[in-house]
Structure 1
C-alpha cells in the first residue's frame, strides 16, 4: 500500500508540474502589451510656414499636448517642396514604418499623384490615413488697394488678356491652390492653361507676394486669409463653398451666387506611415476621436475659421477613394490628368 501510495503521489506531482510548465510557456508566448508611444512625435507640415498645413499641424500638436490626450512631446517640422510631393516621396520610402512621424495633408496628396506634369508616383495609398479633422473652402482674394472689387471685373480682364494678370498660390502648378485659382476662369469659358500662376512654398509666401504687388490675385484656402481680412490688407472676391460662410466672411459671395457653377471643398487630415501596426493605428483612432470631441479643439477650430469634419481611419480611407475619382474628373476637364 505504501508503494502504491508513493507512486500515485509521484504521478500527481509530475502531472501538476507539467500542467504548470505548459501554462507558463503559453503565457510567455503572448504578445506583450503595446507601450506606444514611448518617445517624442513629429508632425510634418509639407509646406512653408503660414499656410493651411502649417496651421493645422501646429493647432493639432498644441491641443493634443495641452489637453494631455498625448503625454509625449509633439513638435512640428516644415518640409516644403512641390506642394507636398517632395516630402511624401521621402516619407513613403524612408519612414514607411516610423510611427513617430505623422503628417497633415489635404487634396494635394490626391492631385499630385493624378496630374500629368510634375506628378508624384506616391499617393495616399502609400500611407495610413488616420483621420479627417476639418473642412475648408477655397477663396479668390486681391490686395486691399487692388482696383478689383468684384470677381466679374477680374474675370473680364483675364478674358481680355490673360498674360497681364498673375495668380499666386502656396503650392505647385497643377495642385490645390492652382486649381482654386483657375476654377472661376475655367468655368467662365477661359482656357485654364492661359491663366498665369506663380507657385510659392507655402501660403505665407504667396500672401507676401500678393501684398508686395508681385501678384494680382491669390487662390488659396479661405481660413488662411482671415487675419489678413480683419487687418484690412486684402479683399476676398469669392469663396468656393456651397453657401455663404459666417463670421468675418459673411459678406463674401459664393461662386454660384456670381453665376459660376463651381465649388471646391478642402478637407484636411492626419496621416501615418503605411506599415503602422494595429496597436499604433488603434492608439491614434482613439486619440483623434477624443480630440474631435474636445472643447479646446472646438475653440481652436473657431479661432482659425475651420469647420469640424471628423472621420475615423476606415471612413477617411473610403472617403479618399471617392475623392480620388472627383479629382481625376476635374483634372481631366482641365487637360492636366496623367
Structure 2
C-alpha cells in the first residue's frame, strides 16, 4: 500500500460505511439464542449517509439496509437519513458529541473520515478513533467524468487544457476541498506535473449535486466514485474519461479506460465500511461482526455489489480498525504532498 509523492503510484484509500446500531446485550455463541442476544436490536435503526442523495455514501447506506432486510439478518426496521454538510464534517461533529451512546444510529463513510481529520482547511477535530469501526464491506474506484456533449473525449485532452491555463477549467466533486472527490479530481493533472493548488475545484454536498452542476454547465468535469455514475452513463448524460483502477472494470464500465492506459501511472482505491458510536459494548461489536460477515457472504449482497460495480472487501471490526490506522499514515503523506496537511 505504498504511496509515492511524485508518482502517486499507489493510493489505497477506502470508503467507510458507518453504521451505528442499537445497544447490544451480551451475545454468547451465534447459535445460543440466549435472551440477551435475542433482545438486540429491539427498535428501529437509522443509518446516516453524511451527504445528499445520489452519491456513494447514500447508495451504500441504502444497499446495506435493503440487503439486511431482504436476508432477515436484521429483523428491526432500518431507514436511511441524509445529513449533508462539509463532506461529512458537520454530521460527524454532531454524531460524536450527541450520539456516542446510541447504538441504534449508524452511519456510512469513506476516506473522508480520515481526510477531514488530517487536512488543514475545513477540517474535523474528530476521526475514526472517535467512533467504533465495525466492518469494511466494499472497494470502489474513482473516475473522471464529463457531460455527454463535452469537447473532451479522453483524459489527456482535459489535462492539456488544465496545463495550458488552470483558471479556465473547472473541476467539481461531491465533497469539500482536500476531500476524496477533490483528490480524485486533481490526481491526473497532478501526476503530470500540475501544481494542485492552481486547479479550480468546486465542492458540493453530495455526488448528485456535483453531477447536476456538471450537466448544468457549471463544471467542465467531476471526480467521484465510479459506482455512482452508472445510471448517468446508461442514460447517455455523461462520458467517463478514466477510472482509477489498475485494470478495466466489467459491466457498464467495460469501455472506460484506466488512467494507466492513458499513460498516467496512478491508482485510487476507495474503501467503504460500517461504523458505530464510540461507546459500543464488546457484545454489540460481536453482533455486528457476525451479522456483517454473514452479509458479506450472502448471494443477495453479492448481486447488490455487482449491480453497483462494487468489489467485495470484508474486514471485521478488529482488522478494519488496524487498516484505518495504516491508512491514516498514507493519507497524511498524500495531504503533505499537496500542502494541505493540518
* Both structures adopt the same fold (TM-score exceeding 0.5): yes
Give the whole-Å Cα distance in 1 for the aligned partners of 2:300 and 2:35. Answer: 34
Aligned-partner Cα distance in 1 for 2:251–2:303: 14
TM-score when normalising by structure 1: 0.89
Q: Which residue of 1 aligns with 2:58?
A: 54
Tell me the equivalent position of 1:143: 147
Distance 1:66 1:248 in 2: 25
Post-superposition offset of 1:279: 1.3
Q: Name the residue aligned to 2:202.
A: 198
Equivalent in 252, 260, 273 of residue 248 of structure 1: 252
Offset of residue 247 of structure 1? 1.8
Deviation at 1:254, TM superposition (A): 1.3
RMSD (CA atoms): 1.1
The question of 1:227 aligning with 2:231 is answered: yes
Which is greater in Rg? 1
Quote the residue 1:286 is aligned against: 290
159, 162, 165: which one aligns with 2:166 = 162
Q: In structure 2, how many angstroms separate the alpha carbons of the residues matched to 1:277 and 1:32?
A: 17
- The residue that corresponds to 1:113 in the other structure is 117
Deviation at 1:48, TM superposition (A): 0.2
2:41 pairs with 1:33: no
Q: Distance in 1 between matches of 2:165 and 2:311?
A: 37
Moved over 6 A (4+): none
Q: What is the aligned counterpart of 1:269 among 249, 266, 273?
A: 273
Task: Give secondary structure in 1 for the equivalent of 2:87.
Answer: helix
The DSSP-based 3-state class of the residue aligned with 1:184 is: helix
Return the offset for 1:32.
Answer: 7.9
| Superposed displacement of residue 326, structure 1 | 1.0
Aligned to 1:173, the other structure's residue is in SS state coil
Per the alignment, residue 11 of structure 2 pairs with none
Unpaired runs of 5+ residues, structure 2, are: 1-33
Distance in 1 (CA, whole Å) between partners of 2:309 and 2:268 is 16
Separation (CA, whole Å) in 1 of partners of 2:303 and 2:268: 25
* Larger RCO of the pair (alpha carbons < 8 Å, separation 6+): 2
**How far apart in 2 are the matches of 1:291 and 1:61?**
11
Aligned residues: 308
Q: Which residue of 2 aligns with 1:72?
A: 76
SS at match of 1:148: coil
**Separation in 1, partners of 2:260, 2:336:** 22
What is the rounded CA distance, in whole Å, between the counterparts of 2:109 and 2:103 in structure 1? 17
2:101 to 80, 97, 103: 97
Question: Residue 104 of structure 1: SS of its match in structure 2?
Answer: strand
For 1:209-262, what per-residue CA distance to the aligned partner results, in whole angstroms no more than 9, with x for missing partners?
101111100000000011111111111111111111112212222112212121
Partner Cα separation in structure 2 for residue 163 and residue 173 of structure 1? 16
Offset, 1:168: 1.3
Give the distance between the partners of 2:266 and 2:278, measured in 1 at CA.
Answer: 34
Contiguous gaps of at least 5 residues in structure 1:
1-30
